[in-house]
Amino acid sequence: MMHGNGHGRVHPAAASSSDFSGEMNQSSVSAPSSDPSSSPLYSFHFEKPVPSPPPQQPPPPPPGTYVVQVPKDKVFRVPPPENARLFEHYTRRAKRRRGCSCVRVCTCVLAVLLALAVLLAAVAGVMYLVLMPKRPSYTVQSLAVSGLAGVGNASSTSPAAFSPEFDATVRAENPSGKIGVSYEGDKSSISVSYGGVPLAGGEWPAFYQGPRNVTVFVAKAKGSGIRLSQGVRGQMATAERLRSVPFDVDVVVPVRLQLGKVKTWAVTARARCTVAVDGLAAGAKVVSRACDVKVGFLSWRN
């Protein structure tokens, strides 16, 4: 049995082992050591613990964003049924908002158009009061008739075809002091009839009439292959004997009012004149005349 010093301990199993006999004998002979760890039986290896790497932090979010943390128990793989109800609710509200937006847009557009119409009407009223335009006057000074000679002598069984022609000398006066009148002849028309039967047609000449201007011109109308009934021929022959043959002259002509170089939009002027002549010849004289002129909302009577 081995005796140990007060500083070291010997395990019985180690003492009985043959592998450690020499070491034990040597340790018994040698001087006792003050440090038990110096013995071969007591060898210690101290290692400095390696610190674990710090957990990687997620990169900070860009400015202007928000990070919302949702608890795990609130995360669902299948949307809850109340989400469908919320979706339907917000969808209906969005449709109502779109409908209201369309109504508001239409209301605003109508309000703007109405305001523009009122503004234009106000400007037109002011211009009318400032400029004080006066109505033009028209007078048929003469009406030369040809192509109707012998209308009362035509046979009743085989009435002849006539080719009447009318040359109307018209006097147009513009009494306005600042506004001119521009006549567009290419879109105008003149028709002459007797008792509702068309006899001839033509165009109103195109010209510009300045302020306080009097213009005298000749408007021509022609017809061909006109066949008149016996009753119309008899009425015309009777009127010729009475030296008062009435003809209806219808005029349709676009006109533009002009102030300096500024022109208004084209307005259709319509005139209906009843002119009676004393005969069916080129030298016929006008015995009576009357005209109704309408331009837009104005009604002029001469």
Q: List, for residues 82-141, the tens digit of each pLDDT value.
A: 666 776 766 776 666 655 567 777 888 888 888 988 888 887 777 666 667 777 888 888
Please name the residue that has the structure tokens 């610190």.
51
State the Cα–Cα distance between residues 33 and 36, nearest whole angstrom: 7
Rounded to 5°, angle at Cα 35 from 30 and 36: 80
Cα 138 to Cα 291: distance, rounded to the nearest angstrom: 8
Tokens encoding 79: 């949307």
In this prediction, residues 131-160 reach a mean pLDDT of 76
- Select the highest-mean-pLDDT range: 13-27, 67-81, 184-198: 184-198
* pLDDT in the model for residue 27: 42
For residue 235, being part of any structural domain is answered with yes
What pLDDT, on the 0 to 100 scale, is given for residue 276? 93
DSSP 32: P
Residue 164 pLDDT > 50: yes
Assigned domain for 274 exists = yes
Question: Is the residue at 40 inside a domain?
Answer: no
Residue pair 257/247 in contact (Cβ under 8 Å)? The answer is no
- By the 8 A CB rule, do 166 and 145 touch? yes
**Is residue 64 in a domain?**
no
Residue 200 and residue 157: Cα distance in Å, rounded? 24
Cα–Cα distance for residue pair 21/63, rounded to 1 Å: 76
Query: Does 18 fall in a domain?
Result: no
Amino acid 158: pLDDT: 55
For residue 241, being part of any structural domain is answered with yes
**Domain range for 259:** 137-296
Q: Assess if residue 97 is contained within a domain.
A: no
The structural domain count of the chain equals: 1
Q: Does a structural domain hold residue 180?
A: yes
In sign, the C-alpha dihedral spanning 140, 144, 145, 149 is: positive
**Whole-structure pTM over 0.75, yes or no?**
no
